[in-house]
A and B are shown apart, each in its own frame.
With several copies, the nearest count.
Chain A
């Protein structure tokens, strides 16, 4: 399954890109598993996700918890806690 990953704020800066398409391995079923898989992709990912519990995620533009099932997600985003307003 192909999924678009999007990164924002310092997650984006550390990874060095704003978005990318990935082929999701069949054994990755939750957001938390995806984070672990990404961390193994290279030092920039390891750096971005070093404190994985700080990073927030959204599936198809809705906030989700790490244990959320990826299901048929088209777009998964990772970002720091929000600071608008």
Chain B
């Protein structure tokens, strides 16, 4: 199973190693890691909580992975998305793509992130220094980023 939704932290090197171990057909590995930032719109945040839709999340991530595999010659894909309460500096999401050549690995990783951000049912709530939680608004830039793959 190359898709995980988990509270636990991940280690990029271990994830990459488990995908490449014993193989000599992989030329390029791209990883993307999303991290909780300590500021949102200029205000400090003390924590971020990630809610999701169990069941649908895994289905959507698997669907997005299948879309990417249909579009690029990938020799491996790994998606990990954390849930629960995370602090600034902590990892949120990891996407790993493996291919013979770098262009495919780069493009597929970008594609996965763009689709994940606009279709996987996760919602972020940021808590500020005042203890008040605020739901994060969806970014129009994320929709635009996704649309470029639909017209391509």
Direct contact of A and B (CB under 8 A): yes
Interface residues of A (CB under 8 A from B): 6, 8-10, 58, 61-63, 77, 79-85
The reply to whether B51 and A9 form a contact with Cβ atoms under 8 Å apart is yes
| Distance in angstroms between the alpha carbons of A10 and B137 in the assembled complex | 11
- Residues in A whose Cβ lies below 8 Å from that of B120: 82, 84-85
| Distance in angstroms between the alpha carbons of A41 and B81 in the assembled complex | 36
The reply to whether B55 and A84 form a contact with Cβ atoms under 8 Å apart is no
Nearest CB on A from B60, distance (A): 8
Nearest CB on A from B143, distance (A): 9
Q: List 27 A-B contacts (CB under 8 A).
A: A8-B51, A8-B52, A8-B123, A9-B51, A58-B121, A62-B56, A63-B60, A79-B121, A80-B123, A81-B137, A81-B138, A82-B117, A82-B118, A82-B122, A83-B117, A83-B122, A83-B123, A83-B135, A83-B137, A83-B139, A84-B93, A84-B117, A84-B122, A84-B124, A85-B81, A85-B92, A85-B113
Interface string of B105-142 (1 = CB under 8 A from A): 00000000100111111111100000000011111001
- Residues in B whose Cβ lies below 8 Å from that of A10: 123, 135
The reply to whether B93 and A85 form a contact with Cβ atoms under 8 Å apart is yes
| Distance in angstroms between the alpha carbons of A40 and B81 in the assembled complex | 37
| Distance in angstroms between the alpha carbons of A8 and B52 in the assembled complex | 8
| Distance in angstroms between the alpha carbons of A8 and B123 in the assembled complex | 8
- Residues in B whose Cβ lies below 8 Å from that of A58: 53, 56, 121
Interface residues of B (CB under 8 A from A): 34, 50-53, 55-56, 59-60, 81, 92-93, 113, 116-125, 135-139, 142
Known contacts A58-B53, A61-B55, A79-B53; A85/B116 CB under 8 A: yes
Most chain B beta-carbon contacts within 10 A, residue among A61, A79, A85: A85
Nearest CB on B from A42, distance (A): 22
The reply to whether A77 and B53 form a contact with Cβ atoms under 8 Å apart is yes
The reply to whether A84 and B113 form a contact with Cβ atoms under 8 Å apart is no
Known contacts A79-B123, A83-B123, A83-B124; A61/B116 CB under 8 A: no
